[in-house]
């Protein structure tokens, strides 16, 4: 009798712990790091950002809490941000030196180490969905320009007139950038001011099945020269996910994030050095990149559900939600 009780107790504990583990989910999002100050994000403006970030988290959480995949969750969360002119992605994309909107995005599955990306597209309503189509319905990782647009059309994604992405405030900022360049003799190919480097969006998630995923979407750098592509659609630079380590989405000066393979470096430090997620991410953002005078930030979640959201700028739109009922949205240090 005692033996039976011990066995039943053991089974209860094992399955109880398993049930707790299986119910764990986490979603983390960002809306870009940059010159985000209380002077720019005033009390009148801040509620709009908080509301949209919250909507993004809720869209992803609705999927996760019902047993959906991390891939579905990050795509849904990013689509909400792409549809908002508050961020430099999708409808709020900045303008190139020629006055166009060119969009980049990528997505990665940590379970299969599979990924997809698009760059320099101009008429796909939700670039993140195009990136996922590349991952799941093509033998490739990255499609660009007209080829990516044709592929998206053939796969049934929503195609819009390029004017859909126009935003008056972004246009006004672009015109001011041109004036500064003309005044200083700049051709538009030098580093932009911090004002022109904010708004890239991204999401990372861990689902109840233990799978990680990451997604990033951007309009790139304001006034960027023809043909320029940043880190957001580059796997390992702006986006990375691996079930054995973590999922990462980055935001910042893309050229440096590419050169330093930032997203993959977080995973590599965890895998090869045994570094914790928070330690690895903070070293990259607040030591390595800051030492190079590079601005930016990232969000990440590891296979255990731990999260980190470091940035070395004045602010970063960010937030998280998890299976414990926590939902937080922040813009500056602790608020």
Query: pLDDT tens-digit profile of 251-279?
Result: 999 999 999 999 999 999 999 999 999 99
pLDDT (0 to 100) of residue 95: 95
CB 202 within 8 A of CB 71: no
Quote the tokens at residue 117.
Answer: 């990306």
* pLDDT over threshold 70, residue 6: no
Distance CA 277, CA 295 (A): 20
Specify the DSSP class assigned to residue 193.
Answer: P
pLDDT at res. 40: 80
CB 215 within 8 Å of CB 110: no
Per-residue pLDDT for 42 more than 60? yes
3-state secondary structure of 271: helix
| CATH assignment of the domain containing 314 | 3.60.20.30
DSSP string, 106-126: EEEETTTTEEEEEEEESSBS-
Q: What is the reported pTM?
A: 0.90
Instruction: Give the bridge partners for 249, in sequence order.
Output: 239, 299
Greater confidence (44 vs 310) lies with: 310
pLDDT digits (tens, 9 = 90+) for 292-330: 999 999 999 999 999 999 999 999 999 999 999 999 999
Instruction: Flag whether 284 is in a domain.
Output: yes
Structural domain of residue 273, as residue ranges? Answer: 25-330
Task: Determine, yes or no, domain membership for 1.
Answer: no
- Whether 308 sits among the annotated catalytic residues: the reply is no
Q: Which residues are CB-neighbours of 265 under 8 A, at least 6 positions away?
A: 280, 284
d(CA 328, CA 17): 26
* Beta carbons of 230 and 120 less than 8 angstroms apart: no
106-150 pLDDT per residue, tens: 999 999 999 999 999 999 999 999 999 999 999 999 999 999 999
- Which residues, other chains included, contact 248 with Cβ-Cβ below 8 Å and sequence gap of 6+? 204, 214, 239, 240, 241, 262, 263, 264, 266, 267, 281, 298, 299, 300
- Residue 13 reports pLDDT greater than 60: no
217 pLDDT band (50/70/90 cuts)? very high
pLDDT band at 5 (very low <50, low <70, confident <90, very high): very low
- Is 43 or 266 the better-scoring residue by pLDDT? 266
Mean pLDDT of the region 7-18: 43
Active-site residue, selected from the candidate residues 200, 216, 308, 313:
200
Q: Is residue 17, in this structure, part of any structural domain at all?
A: no
Q: Starting at the edge strand that comes first in sequence, how are the strands of the sheet with 142-144 ordered?
A: 142-144, 114-121, 103-109, 212-218, 201-206, 26-34, 315-322, 327-330
Instruction: Decide: helix, strand or coil at residue 40.
Output: coil
Measure CA 330 to chain center.
15
Q: Does residue 10 fall inside a structural domain? A: no
- pLDDT tops 70 at residue 194: no
- pLDDT, one tens digit per residue, over 68-114 is 999 999 999 999 999 999 999 999 999 999 999 999 999 999 999 99
Domain-embedded: residue 247: yes
| pLDDT value, residue 44 | 86
CA angle 78, 82, 154 (to 5 degrees): 90
- Total number of domains constituting the chain: 1
Q: What is the pLDDT of residue 35?
A: 76
Q: Looking at residue 16, what is its pLDDT?
A: 44
Residue 184 has pLDDT above 90, yes or no: no
Residue 335 is predicted with a pLDDT of: 64
Exposure on the CB side of residue 124, measured as CA atoms within 13 A = 37
* Statement: residue 185 has pLDDT above 70: no
Scored b (16 or more CB within 10 A) or e, 294-307 reads: bbbbbbbbbbeeeb
Q: In the 8-state DSSP scheme, what is residue 222?
A: T
- Mean pLDDT (the chain, rounded): 90
Instruction: Specify if 285 maps to a domain.
Output: yes
Determine the average pLDDT of the residues in 202-225: 96
| Residue-level pLDDT at 181 | 79
Contact 69, 213 (CB under 8 A): yes
Rg (CA), the chain: 20
In a domain, 122, yes or no: yes
Given a contact cutoff of 8 angstroms between Cβ atoms, the answer to whether 196 and 222 are in contact is: yes
Asked whether residue 4 is assigned to any structural domain, the reply reads no
pLDDT at 38: 80
What is the 3-class SS of 124-179, one letter each residue? ECCHHHHHHHHHHHCCCCEEEHHHHHHHHHHCCCCECCHHHHCCHHHHHHHHHHHH
Provide mean pLDDT across the span 160-170.
95
């Amino acid at each position: 009798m005692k033996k039976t009780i011990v066995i039943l107790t053991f089974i209860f504990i094992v399955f109880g712990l398993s049930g707790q583990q299986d119910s764990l989910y986490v979603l983390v999002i960002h809306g870009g790091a940059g010159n985000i100050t209380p002077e720019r994000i005033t009390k009148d403006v801040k509620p709009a950002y908080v509301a949209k970030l919250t909507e993004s988290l809720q869209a992803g959480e609705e999927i996760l809490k019902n047993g959906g995949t991390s891939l579905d969750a990050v795509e849904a969360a990013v689509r909400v941000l792409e549809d908002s002119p508050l961020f430099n992605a999708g409808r709020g994309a900045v303008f190139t030196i020629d006055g166009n909107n060119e969009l980049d995005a990528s997505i990665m599955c940590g379970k299969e180490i599979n990924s997809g990306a698009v760059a320099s597209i101009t008429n796909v309503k939700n670039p993140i969905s195009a990136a996922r189509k590349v991952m799941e319905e093509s033998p490739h990782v990255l499609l660009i320009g007209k080829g990516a647009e044709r592929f998206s059309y053939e796969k049934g994604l929503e195609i819009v007139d390029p004017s859909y992405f126009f935003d008056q405030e972004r246009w006004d900022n672009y015109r001011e950038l041109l004036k500064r360049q003309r005044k200083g003799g700049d051709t538009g190919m030098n580093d932009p001011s911090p004002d022109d480097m904010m708004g890239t969006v991204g999401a990372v998630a861990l689902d109840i099945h233990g799978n990680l995923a990451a997604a990033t979407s951007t309009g790139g750098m304001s006034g960027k020269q023809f043909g320029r592509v940043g880190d957001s659609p580059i796997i390992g630079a702006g986006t990375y996910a691996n079930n054995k380590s973590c999922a990462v989405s980055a935001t910042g000066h893309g050229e440096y994030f590419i050169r330093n393979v930032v997203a993959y470096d977080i995973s590599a430090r965890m895998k090869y050095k045994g570094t914790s997620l928070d330690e690895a991410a903070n070293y990259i953002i607040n030591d390595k990149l800051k030492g190079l005078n590079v601005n930016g930030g990232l969000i990440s979640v590891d296979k255990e559900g731990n999260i980190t959201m470091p940035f070395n700028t004045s602010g970063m739109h960010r937030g998280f939600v998890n299976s414990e009922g926590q939902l937080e949205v922040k813009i500056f240090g602790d608020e």
